[in-house]
């Protein structure tokens, strides 16, 4: 299978366990830290900027957040696949590193720059730990799926 397609599928699929981990760990945060998770916050800020938020009921907000989160996972999976053969280490190591790198780039740079989220440095350590663990789950799962699906004989 083409590596980009493999990465897209892998990132999409890996967003499932990532989301479950996020929702589970969210329940164990102190009550003052149980504000909405980043996918919801970012998606609703985009919806507000587009003037859509007033027209969305709760079910539609959940659906839009879910689609947005899984689409992001799919895109990042394709990006992972572009480089997965370049590092000759175990996929678990590559996936963990890419998961943490994804968290760093998105939560320290891109999302704050786009004013979709405040930087991770402004959030409590337990919230950041939750998100880092979730990104480790996503990265490792993505890497293992790409390793299984990507064509071993070609570099396309």
pLDDT of residue 154: 54
**In this predicted structure, what is the pLDDT of residue 53?**
87
Cβ–Cβ under 8 Å, residues 146 and 138: no
What confidence score (pLDDT) does residue 152 get? 65
Two structure tokens written together for 78: 């394709």
Per the listing, tokens 């950041």 go with: 128
Give the integer Cα–Cα distance in Å for 112 and 43: 13
Give phi and psi for 117, each to the nearest 5.
-145, 155
Q: Which residues in the chain land under pLDDT 70? A: 152-156
Tokens representing 96 are 């963990």
| pLDDT tens readout for residues 75-119 | 999 999 998 888 889 999 999 999 999 999 999 999 999 999 999
Place of tokens 């071993």: 152
What pLDDT is attached to residue 24?
98
Q: Considering the entire predicted model, what is its pTM?
A: 0.93
Q: What is the pLDDT of residue 87?
A: 82
């Amino acid at each position: 299978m083409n590596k980009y397609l493999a990465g897209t599928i892998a990132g999409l699929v890996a967003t499932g366990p990532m989301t479950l981990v996020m929702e589970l760990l969210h329940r164990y945060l102190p009550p003052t830290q149980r504000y909405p998770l980043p996918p919801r916050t970012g998606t609703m800020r985009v919806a507000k900027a587009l003037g859509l938020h007033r027209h969305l009921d709760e079910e539609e907000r959940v659906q839009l957040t879910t689609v947005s989160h899984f689409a992001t996972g799919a895109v990042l999976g394709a990006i992972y696949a572009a480089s997965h053969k370049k590092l000759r280490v175990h996929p678990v190591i590559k996936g963990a590193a890419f998961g943490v790198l994804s968290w760093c780039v998105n939560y320290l740079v891109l999302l704050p720059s786009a004013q979709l989220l405040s930087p991770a440095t402004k959030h409590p350590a337990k919230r950041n730990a939750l998100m880092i663990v979730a990104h480790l789950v996503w990265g490792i799962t993505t890497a293992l799926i790409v390793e299984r699906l990507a064509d071993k004989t070609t570099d396309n």
